[in-house]
Amino acid sequence: MVETSQEIFNTMRERHSVKHYDTSHKMSREEVEQLLSAAHSAPSSWNLQHWKFLVIDDEQKKQQLLPIAYGQKQVVESSVTIAILGDLEANKNAETVYGEAVAKGALTEEIKGRLIGQIDGAYQYPQVARDEAILNASLAAMQLMLAAKAVGLDTCPMGGFDRKAFVEQFDISSRYVPVMLVVVGKAAKPAYASSRLPLGETIFWNQML
Ligand SMILES: Cc1cc2nc3c(=O)[nH]c(=O)nc-3n(C[C@H](O)[C@H](O)[C@H](O)COP(=O)(O)O)c2cc1C
């Protein structure tokens, strides 16, 4: 076994989807931003950073979210719900991202132009844009959940919500696809014990059997 710092492994093992939260626990915007800073450090295709975070901490807005989340109470009982949105036009970030890289001397103008050409080519296909948005925003969501666990908080990722109603209620631009909700807060009850399929059934070496 390779020697590692155990902390990250413990954090991953201890993270579970908590459904019941201490309603008296509040998070400051600074605390939320600390977690989102960790989420924002996620890797992304072409470093396009396909995520936006809509933080819902207002009581009235949480109540509006409840029926949209099919009555799942964690959206009102947790401290905040963070809607992870995927950017369907993340190619528009390329100029800024690569402009900075050129300014730092990490990239030439010529390579920047070539990369942007490749990216815009790929983004002609709506399915690519959608896949990329969901794929990359999901990585940020995972980092958010681990960061929360690392500071002693709990989370629940939620795909069970009416996306159309969410977009209408929260006035989300068609540029963004709602990927998932992540509630964050202090657990009032531990998560249900979840298990995993045997690891051996999930690993293949060199070919799928
Ligand atoms: C994309 C995604 C969507 C999920 N949607 C919901 C949801 O709507 N409601 C809920 O209570 N849990 C939801 N979960 C949590 C899963 O049920 C949970 O991750 C799984 O049972 C494993 O348990 P654990 O996270 O506690 O290890 C979701 C998880 C993921 C990754």
Q: What is the pLDDT of residues 54-107, one digit of tens each?
A: 999 999 999 999 999 999 999 999 999 999 999 999 999 999 999 999 999 999
Best mutation site among 72, 156, 163 for ligand 1 pocket (most ligand atoms within 8 Å of CB): 156
Q: What average pLDDT does the segment 119-145 reach?
A: 98
Report percent pLDDT > 90 for the chain: 96
Question: Coil, strand or helix: which one is 82?
Answer: strand
Instruction: Choose one of 15, 149, 158, 177 to mutate for the ligand 1 pocket test, by most ligand atoms within 8 angstroms of C-beta.
Output: 158
For residues 131-167, b (16+ Cβ closer than 10 Å) or e, as one string?
ebbbebbbbbbbbbbbbbbbeebbbbbbeebeeeebb
Across the range 33-50, mean pLDDT stands at 98
Query: Per-residue b/e over 29-45, b at no fewer than 16 CB within 10 Å?
Result: eebbeebbebbeebebb
For residue 3, the model assigns a pLDDT of: 59
Percent of the chain residues past pLDDT 70, beyond the cut: 98
pTM of the model: 0.96
Q: Sorting pLDDT into bands at 50, 70 and 90, what band is 182?
A: very high
In the predicted structure, residue 179 carries a pLDDT above the cut 90: yes
| Ligand 1 nearest atom to the CA of residue 18, by list position | 26
Q: How far apart are the first and last CA of the chain?
A: 26
Given pLDDT bands bounded at 50, 70 and 90, which one contains residue 6? confident
CA angle 49–147–182, rounded 5-degree value: 70
Which is it for strands 51-56 and 154-158: parallel, antiparallel or unpaired? unpaired
Residue 13 has a pLDDT of 95
* Domain range list for the chain: 27-191
CA of 18 to the centre of ligand 1 (A): 9
Widest Cα–Cα separation across the chain: 56
Q: How far, in Å, is the centroid of ligand 1 from the Cα of 156?
A: 6
- 3-class secondary structure, 79: coil
Closest atom of ligand 1 relative to the 160 alpha carbon: 8
Length of the chain: 209
Nearest CA to ligand 1 atom 18: 17
pLDDT-derived band of residue 209, with 50, 70 and 90 as boundaries? confident
Q: Specify the residue with its C-alpha closest to ligand 1, atom 10.
A: 158
What pLDDT was estimated at residue 33?
98
If residue 157 lies in a helix (H) or strand (E), which one and from where to where?
A: strand 154-158
Residue 143 has what pLDDT?
Answer: 98
CATH fold for the domain made of 27-191: NADH Oxidase (3.40.109)
Residue 201, pLDDT > 70, answer yes
